[in-house]
Structure 1
Amino acid sequence: METKNISHFQEAPSSKSFGLTLDNEEVLSFKLSNKNGMNVQIINYGATVTSIQVPTSGGNLVDVVLGFDNLESYLASYNLPSAPYLGTTVGRYAGRIDKGIFTLNNKKFQLKTNNNENALHGGNSGFGKKVWNISNLTSGDNPSITFSLLSPDLDENYPGALRVDLIYTLTEENELKLEYKATSTEDTIINLTHHSYFNLDGHDGSVLNQEMFIDSEKILETNSGNIPTGKFTPLSNNDFDFRNSKSCPASIDHSFVIEPVNNVVAKLFSSKNNLQMSVYTDQPSVHIYVGGNCFDILKGKENAVYHSSSGICFETQNYPDAPNHEHFPNSVLRKGETYQQKTIYKFENIN
């Protein structure tokens, strides 16, 4: 099946040791580079993006995602009061599931809870805390790396053994493309997302001077526990209407409804570096997150002191708690079917 030994991949993207897990398993860091000088670093712990360096019009490279310099800090980050999930792959189910309970095929499942009384981002040991296998590497134009994970039946009490493949491709158009595929041995629920905190001014700055655009007319209404009520809040005359780009908010934790999909669903602009990031996805929502009570504790990479406005997440995904709302998009993956998802983060210089 998969292998962690990469010596047989010819001209493979460069890899180096990133540290050892508590079980003494070695974690590797891989670097994808394109001909424009852009490069992306990804570790196989959580299939986590640790760095995205983008060339600016001024000829500099700016690192536009938050991250840590070593594995110890990633491990320690999960012990914080609210784990930041810096750059990780989130699964089996991104977002919250009310009280960790859902019903599938007339059977009730109780997931492990890790967010007050709810299940969040896959539970206590979600996909961001697992060591993924490396199943393919390509070099040359549009280099890529494929990570694979087998989540066993009843992992965090989710039904079915789930096989996930995630291909990261760095294109020659300065896109980081994420393509997910998953199959299950039993009917199950699934919602995968990517959890990088972006900052086009550089990972050691603040996003509050950057502007954001979101192509969305409504957000999911949520209760005090941040669980969707099943209703929608229209964004006309709402502070969170970003159909005309405006400054990033200091605090936001909302799911924006995307229709139709496959267009540019969101953009982030930095006037400091004349950079623009465009987000494309085939998912029905993008969850925007700024804030958190996890910062000012762990030092970020390059000794950066991260704070609540250090970065902004664009989590392309299905709706949180969709298994408990019949009118929400389908979140069930049937045995024998294939879950597929595609998201692109594209970086461009702007005048």
Structure 2
Amino acid sequence: MTNYIMKLFGLTTTEEVIESFDLSNKNGMKLTVINYGATVVSLKMPLKTGEVIDVVLGFDNLEAYLKSFQLKSPPYFGATVGRFAGRINNSLFNLNGKAFLLNKNNNNHSLHGGIENFSQKIWTVENWTEGKNPSITLSCLSPKGEENYPGELAVKLTYTISEESELIIEYQASSSEDTIVNLTHHSYFNLDGHKSDILEQELIVNSKRTLETTNENIPTGKFLNIAGSSFDFSSPKKCPSEIDTTFVLDNKEEFAASLFNKNNMLKMTVYTDQPGVHIYVGGNCFNEVKGKENCDYHPLSGICFEAQNFPDAPNHEHFPSSILRKEELYHHKTIYKFQSF
């Protein structure tokens, strides 16, 4: 049995071909990725009951993905985010004594890599493997000076689905000169499918601190202890109706967060080697673009677990460094593990 299928997904406005790639494992887990934005279109999980649930938000066609980036708040459904995930304050950072002013696409700030971001690029499929743990590797080249970032940045991204029902995402990047980089994955998860909200699903975050932010969601540089507060998810709580917060991960050997749906007894656990996980509830399409299954996605349709470095890290010396030196290799691994009870 082959566990890799390639199909035409659509054509861009400039007639470039976008393809979809299906990977499946022996358990019936099925991942669909497109080379537009190296985007996860669907992730289907079989339940103990025999039912299959698509646990990520997305669209049925390329036109909807293209249109979604014209919304007043693009959702970045399932996309690969870069060069820099999150916001950079005033679109400005200093590196090696030189100031770099990036393009502004979020008020006065640069968000998720700016205007020419990785989420809207056409990626190249480098390799795929079949067998027990099928995978696909895609690559992307960001020219020197794109969005005013220094260096030509070469990125490789591998999606793997394991026999243990894990979606494993690994990133590698290298640059022709010193630069900054912060990559993440932007799927919105809903363990109940597309037609419900996430408010009854239970969230745990393995964190004691969050980043304090301004009213424009820019880190101040301070950390907030969250024990006993509304941001304390050390024990299971129902998903909040609003959250857009970076949680500090102090122990990379442990899980970062988990989501559990009592309705169908499906659980997802997030593991990462990154210093933070940014949790965001949203997915609003403002009734302008239809989601999968002809759904109207709204602000409570899904929840993101963006494993990454801290937003605005280049502007805070005490944050983990986001600098990628010319001779170094950026590496980042995140796992979304599923269990059906």
TM-score, normalization by structure 2: 0.98
Which amino acid is the alignment partner of residue 23 of structure 1?
Answer: T
Pairs aligned (count): 341
Is contact 2:41–2:78 with CA below 8 Å preserved after alignment?
yes
> 1:22-67 CA deviation, whole Å, 9 max, x = no partner?
2211000000100001101000100000000001111110000000
Aligned to 2:154: 163
* 2:340 is the alignment partner of 1:349: yes
Aligned to 1:257: 248
- Provide the C-alpha distance between the structure 1 equivalents of 2:255 and 2:324, rounded to a whole number of angstroms: 26
Cα shift at 1:200 = 0.3
Is contact 1:52–1:64 with CA below 8 Å preserved after alignment?
yes
Q: CA distance change for structure 1 residues 199 and 278 in 2, over 3 Å: closer, same or farther?
A: same
* 2:226 is the alignment partner of 1:235: yes
Cα shift at 1:291 = 2.8
Secondary structure in structure 2 of the residue aligned to 1:298? coil
* 2:79 is the alignment partner of 1:97: no
Is contact 1:81–1:294 with CA below 8 Å preserved after alignment?
no
Match of 1:280 among 267, 271, 274: 271
Structure 1 residue ranges without an equivalent (≥5): 1-10
- Provide the C-alpha distance between the structure 2 equivalents of 1:104 and 1:286, rounded to a whole number of angstroms: 25
Which amino acid is the alignment partner of residue 102 of structure 1?
Answer: F
Is contact 1:66–1:197 with CA below 8 Å preserved after alignment?
yes
Secondary structure in structure 1 of the residue aligned to 2:119? helix
In the TM superposition, 1:81-96 aligns within 5 A as 81-96=72-87
Cα shift at 1:262 = 3.4
> 1:143-199 CA deviation, whole Å, 9 max, x = no partner?
000000011001111110000000000101100000100000010000000000000
Aligned to 1:182: 173
Which amino acid is the alignment partner of residue 210 of structure 1?
Answer: Q
> 1:234-261 CA deviation, whole Å, 9 max, x = no partner?
1012101000111000010000000111
Is contact 1:81–1:293 with CA below 8 Å preserved after alignment?
no
- Provide the C-alpha distance between the structure 2 equivalents of 1:292 and 1:19, rounded to a whole number of angstroms: 22
Q: CA distance change for structure 1 residues 57 and 293 in 2, over 3 Å: closer, same or farther?
A: closer
Is contact 2:188–2:283 with CA below 8 Å preserved after alignment?
no
In the TM superposition, 1:142-153 aligns within 5 A as 142-153=133-144
Is contact 1:15–1:30 with CA below 8 Å preserved after alignment?
yes
Aligned to 1:172: 163
Which stretch has the larger CA shift, 120-129 or 259-268?
A: 259-268
- Provide the C-alpha distance between the structure 1 equivalents of 2:255 and 2:146, rounded to a whole number of angstroms: 35
* 2:201 is the alignment partner of 1:196: no
- Provide the C-alpha distance between the structure 1 equivalents of 2:324 and 2:263, rounded to a whole number of angstroms: 43
In the TM superposition, 1:207-222 aligns within 5 A as 207-222=198-213
Which amino acid is the alignment partner of residue 118 of structure 2?
Answer: F
Aligned to 2:311: 320
Secondary structure in structure 2 of the residue aligned to 1:344? strand
Secondary structure in structure 2 of the residue aligned to 1:336? coil
Is contact 1:133–1:149 with CA below 8 Å preserved after alignment?
yes
Secondary structure in structure 2 of the residue aligned to 1:323? helix
State percent identity of aligned pairs: 58
Which amino acid is the alignment partner of residue 122 of structure 2?
Answer: V
Secondary structure in structure 1 of the residue aligned to 2:199? helix
- Provide the C-alpha distance between the structure 1 equivalents of 2:97 and 2:13, rounded to a whole number of angstroms: 39
Aligned to 1:311: 302
Structure 2 residue ranges without an equivalent (≥5): none
Q: Structure 1 segments of 4 or more deviating over 4 A?
A: none
